[in-house]
Amino acid sequence: MKRDLFAACCVAISRARRLHAKLFRVVLTWVTLLGVSPASVVTSAAFAEELFVASPLTKEGEFTAGIEGPACDADGNIYAVNFSKQGTIGRVAPDGKGQVYLELPNNSVGNGIRFDRQGIMYIADYVNHNVLAVDRSTKKITVLAHEPQMNQPNDLAIAGDGTLYASDPAWERNAGQIWRIDRDGKVKKLAGDLGTTNGIELSPDGKTLYVNESVQRNIWAFTITDSRDLSGKRLLKQFPDHGFDGMRIDVDGNLYITRHGKGTVVKLSPQGEVLKEIDVLGGKPSNLCFGGPDGRTVYVTEVDHTRLVQFRVDRPGLEWQRWKQR
């Protein structure tokens, strides 16, 4: 009887974790009232649940083929660009129900999205060469930075102090750049003469910037200096086929990289070793983020079916951890 009760509690914990933080807490309370140790159940549930197996979150066709740039807020909602039509930001609840959150002005179209610790949303506007800032309490949109010398920008990474880094590909020339955007909107080009810069991310200690090149299939690592410039460019990993798109990092420094054209997300160690490769149920994953009540749900924007898919992982994402440190 006790073994059956314990197993039932493990299943309940695993399912609640995937849905919402409040439900997770309710189930923990229920488990305690039944006289079962919550700590032992949570540990067992983590081992018992199915990891690195993707399933659809949203219906096909709710986003356009421009689906990109997912990011999660503190409540577990997922935001991604081009819900229903181009130039929008969609908000998807953890249960998969989506709606238009806002429409961007001046024909802007977003790509990468990031949140800072205060909850400000930043959007890479590749049409008008802007980085936009959204005050979510009012939905007021302002231009944080405008740089005519940018090709786009494409994707964003954010440091613990709120400094943004932007990838900036020139697709027609198979070239790219990296920019830094300070909190006051000042912009500085940190690197040029690169391939098609796309996915961009920071290490957990904030001392290394990673950027991938979609066409050249390289993943580069740069040291961030005390002056927040880049030095020590080094090749972390090169792949022989398919392309890259967005990428994110977990709390242990493992990169999760979308393999555009192959239909997978690859998990790469800080030393460049391939640890896992996850099928995401469509050939063109464009970006991903970490979320869920425990930070161990990965959400992937997938172009072929214009939907979000999700899978569980073993360790939380860095961006989720930062939410908890606010």
* CA-based max dimension of the chain: 68
> If you search the block for the tokens 């439900």, which residue do you land on?
23
Does the structure show a pLDDT above 60 at 43?
no
Tens-digit pLDDT profile for residues 235-273: 999 999 999 999 999 999 999 999 999 999 999 999 999
What lies within 8 Å, CB to CB, of 151 at 6+ separation is: 168, 169, 170, 176, 177
Does the structure show a pLDDT above 60 at 21?
no
What lies within 8 Å, CB to CB, of 42 at 6+ separation is: 13, 28
Give the tokens for residue 194. Answer: 């690169």
Percent of the chain scored above 90 by pLDDT? 82
3-state secondary structure of 104: coil
Average pLDDT of every residue of the chain: 91
Rounded to whole angstroms, the Cα distance separating 303 from 79 reads 15
Q: ∠ at Cα 310 (30, 240), nearest 5°?
A: 145
Give the tokens for residue 251. Answer: 């709390």
Question: Alpha carbon of 210 to those of 117, 234, 236: distances in Å?
Answer: 21, 10, 9
Rounded to whole angstroms, the Cα distance separating 19 from 297 reads 10
Rounded to whole angstroms, the Cα distance separating 288 from 92 reads 14
- SS3 string, 159-209, reads CCCCCEEEEEEEHHHCEEEEEEECCCCCEEEEEEEECCEEEEEECCCCCEE
Tens-digit pLDDT profile for residues 55-93: 999 999 999 999 999 999 989 999 999 999 999 999 999
Give the tokens for residue 12. Answer: 């309940």
Does the structure show a pLDDT above 60 at 150?
yes
Catalytic one of 125, 155, 168, 245: 245
What lies within 8 Å, CB to CB, of 220 at 6+ separation is: 194, 210, 211, 212, 213, 233, 234, 235, 236
Q: Is 245 a catalytic residue?
A: yes
**Cβ-contact 158, 189 below 8 angstroms:** no
Tens-digit pLDDT profile for residues 28-40: 566 567 676 655 5
**Cβ-contact 268, 259 below 8 angstroms:** no
The pLDDT score that the predictor gives to residue 20 is 52
Average of pLDDT values for 12-41? 59
Rounded to whole angstroms, the Cα distance separating 226 from 222 reads 13
Residue type, 32: T
- CATH match of 55-324 with 2.120.10.30: yes
pLDDT bucket at 25, cuts 50 / 70 / 90: low
The pLDDT score that the predictor gives to residue 129 is 98
